[in-house]
Amino acid sequence: MPRERTRTVFLCQTCGHESPKWMGFCPSCGDQSPLVEGPRGSRSTRQGWLATISESPRELSQVFPNEQERTPLAFGELNRVLGGGVVPGSLVLMAGEPGVGKSTLLLQTAGYVASTGSKVLYVSGEESAHQIKLRSDRLGFSGQGIYLLSETDVDEVVQHLEHSRPALAIVDSVQTLYTQDIPSGQGSVAQVRECALRLMRWAKARAVPLFIAGHVTKDGTLAGPRVLEHMVDVVLHLEGETLSAYRILRGDKNRFGSTNEVGIFQMGGKGLEEVLDPSSVLLSQHRNEAIGSANVPILEGSRPLLVEIQALTSPSILAVPRRIANGIDYNRLLMLTAVLSRRVGLNLSNQDIIVNVVGGLRIREPATDVAVALAIASSLRNAPLSPGMVGLGEVGLSGELRTVPQLQRRLNEASRLGFRRCLLPSATGEDAGGVEGIELIFSPTLSDALQQCLPGRKVSQTSDPLDEFVEERV
Ligand code: TYD
Ligand code: MG
């Protein structure tokens, strides 16, 4: 007699790996949490999916894309990240930490589409219709054309979608959905995957764009279901410190456009507003000659943006001094502190160090290394950097400065905002080109950069201006 096949498998809650037997960790991604029992992907699911794409094969040359099909949405910044508007039938995942503004952005998008005379279905498993109404009053639209549904059963949701046929559908959030066909709890990998699949099947079959909100965990990954990122067409990440006003919308995956684009928003009393000239906003309170402050032109996607990095050092009362990184990577700060101690000779071993990016932005680029190091040294020496200057360069472990990409764009932005000097790694050489009105200063090492940029005291030819802070020379 043939053995009956197991109906369940064990799933990793992080990467979705399936195993026929239970294990205490995931052999695929190495996650140390035990696998959770869930149903095997059923055959009917596959047949249902195939039914929606029952076209015969077409030659590529016979396929005529229609750019006009994209629907522009409320904000230019959102359209930019989507690649010029939303494509019919696309499944867009709006990911972000709780409280960052996903529901606000989605409701504003719904409000805009409804104001053009189209019908929007807004499904919320998190908020009641009453709460959404309060929010829409605050955002300042009447709500005509927006149909609300407080429902968490995905099959019911699909039925309502099929029945009402909106021009845009929004589901907030995917973690609150469930289907009775799967025994595991709401928000588990199996549930989230199956619910997203059912929504996707509907969206593709009816060519309706569908936005789903998804929460991310503290470490920035989508809660549980990485599988979701593979499934959807577009993954947008809304980032920013909840307490600060600025939000960055990043395209992490886009089947219909570039992932190099970012949108910049500001959270205010009437929801999110786009920020059209972010550099000047971020630098509006900028004072020349501020101690512990350095400016750097970063690139957010393909967009140059001038940001101010501030550092504060203060004598520590703890045996192990604290390092606090707001907006930059913590490990990067530890690395720069180590380079400043060992290669430059600054005594930071008894100092607490706090680094902050003004405006609450999060920066990932190594091109900001020099600016962070300059800000720390400036605070330690209690002397401002030379006025009107920006610093660019990645710092290596031996204290050398490395070149950064797309210099011309960054220099243009610095020049536009009135900066007159730029510190660059010597290795940049001819590549720097040059921008009118900006004097270029080249440095081979971080140590040399500090000497050039912190001219606070008179320097004799033989003595190092930083000697008094030297702990040990290497
Ligand atoms: P929300 O969209 O609910 O976040 P998410 O869906 O990502 O969890 O937004 C939450 C925050 O936004 C909340 O702390 C209040 C703030 N907010 C404003 O500052 N102004 C506004 O007009 C709105 C609607 C929200
Ligand atoms: Mg929400």
Render pLDDT for 265-277 as a digit per residue (tens, 0 to 9). 998 888 999 888 8
Angle, CA 159 vertex, CA 155 and CA 161 arms, to 5°:
115
Residue 471: the pLDDT is 42
Would you say the CB of residue 140 lies under 6 angstroms from ligand 1? no
- Identify the weakest region by mean pLDDT among 1-5, 7-11, 53-57, 398-402: 1-5
Would you say the CB of residue 98 lies under 6 angstroms from ligand 1? yes
Dihedral sign for Cα 231, 235, 241, 245, please.
Answer: negative
Architecture of the domain defined by 70-276? 3-Layer(aba) Sandwich (3.40)
Residue 469: the pLDDT is 46
**Residue 38 predicted with pLDDT over 60:** yes
Question: What spacing in Å lies between the alpha carbon of 353 and ligand 2's midpoint?
Answer: 35
Residue 462: the pLDDT is 33
Give SS3 for 248: strand
pLDDT: which is higher, 392 or 416: 392
Q: Chain-wide mean pLDDT for the chain?
A: 83
Mean pLDDT in residue range 66-73:
73
Would you say the CB of residue 420 lies under 6 angstroms from ligand 1? no
Question: What spacing in Å lies between the alpha carbon of 212 and ligand 2's midpoint?
Answer: 11
Q: Whose CA is nearest to atom 15 of ligand 1?
A: 99
- pLDDT band for position 218 (cuts 50, 70, 90): low
Question: What spacing in Å lies between the alpha carbon of 98 and ligand 2's midpoint?
Answer: 7
Would you say the CB of residue 444 lies under 6 angstroms from ligand 1? no
Would you say the CB of residue 214 lies under 6 angstroms from ligand 1? no
Q: Whose CA is nearest to atom 12 of ligand 1?
A: 101
Atom of ligand 1 nearest to the CA of 238: 7
**Residue 461 predicted with pLDDT over 50:** no
pLDDT: which is higher, 17 or 249: 249
Question: What spacing in Å lies between the alpha carbon of 270 and ligand 1's midpoint?
Answer: 10
Percent of the chain with pLDDT over 90: 39
Atom of ligand 1 nearest to the CA of 242: 14
Atom of ligand 1 nearest to the CA of 97: 7
Residue type at position 152: T
**Residue 51 predicted with pLDDT over 70:** no
Would you say the CB of residue 138 lies under 6 angstroms from ligand 1? yes
Q: What is the DSSP letter of 318?
A: S
Mean pLDDT in residue range 453-473:
47
Tell me the per-residue pLDDT of 98-150, one tens digit each, with 9 for 90 and over: 888 999 999 999 999 999 999 999 999 989 999 999 999 999 888 899 999 99
Tell me the per-residue pLDDT of 341-398, one tens digit each, with 9 for 90 and over: 999 999 999 999 999 998 778 888 999 999 999 999 999 999 988 888 899 999 999 9
**Residue 467 predicted with pLDDT over 60:** no
Q: Using H for helix, E for strand and C for coil, what is the string for 86-143?
A: ECCCCEEEEEECCCCCHHHHHHHHHHHHHHCCCCEEEEECCCCHHHHHHHHHHHCCCC
**Residue 464 predicted with pLDDT over 50:** no
| CATH match for 281-453 among 3.90.1150.10, 3.30.230.10, 3.40.50.620, 3.30.70.1290 | 3.30.230.10
Distance CA 289, CA 408 (A): 25
**Residue 62 predicted with pLDDT over 90:** no
List the alpha helices (DSSP H) in 283-426.
Answer: 330-339, 369-381, 407-416
Mean pLDDT in residue range 250-274:
87
Q: In the chain, what are the domain boundaries?
A: 1-40, 70-276, 281-453
Would you say the CB of residue 267 lies under 6 angstroms from ligand 1? yes
Q: Whose CA is nearest to atom 9 of ligand 1?
A: 101
| Alpha-carbon distances of 260 from 79, 184, 247, rounded to whole Å | 13, 37, 16
- Identify the weakest region by mean pLDDT among 17-31, 37-51, 112-126, 218-232: 37-51
Q: Whose CA is nearest to atom 11 of ligand 1?
A: 99
Tell me the per-residue pLDDT of 178-193, one tens digit each, with 9 for 90 and over: 888 877 777 777 788 8
Question: What spacing in Å lies between the alpha carbon of 218 and ligand 2's midpoint?
Answer: 16
Residue 447: the pLDDT is 94
Distance CA 202, CA 134 (A): 30
List the alpha helices (DSSP H) in 184-277.
Answer: 189-206, 227-231
The helix-helix angle for 102-115 and 129-139 (nearest 10°) equals 70
pLDDT: which is higher, 1 or 438: 438
Mean pLDDT in residue range 59-65:
78
Residue 417: the pLDDT is 85
Question: What spacing in Å lies between the alpha carbon of 211 and ligand 1's midpoint?
Answer: 17
**Residue 226 predicted with pLDDT over 80:** no
The helix-helix angle for 446-453 and 369-381 (nearest 10°) equals 50
Q: Whose CA is nearest to atom 16 of ligand 1?
A: 101
Is 374:385 a contact under the CB 8 Å cutoff?
yes
**Residue 436 predicted with pLDDT over 60:** yes
- pLDDT band for position 49 (cuts 50, 70, 90): very low
**Residue 32 predicted with pLDDT over 70:** yes
Question: What spacing in Å lies between the alpha carbon of 100 and ligand 1's midpoint?
Answer: 6
Residue 418: the pLDDT is 85
Would you say the CB of residue 438 lies under 6 angstroms from ligand 1? no
Nearest bound ligand to CA 100? 1
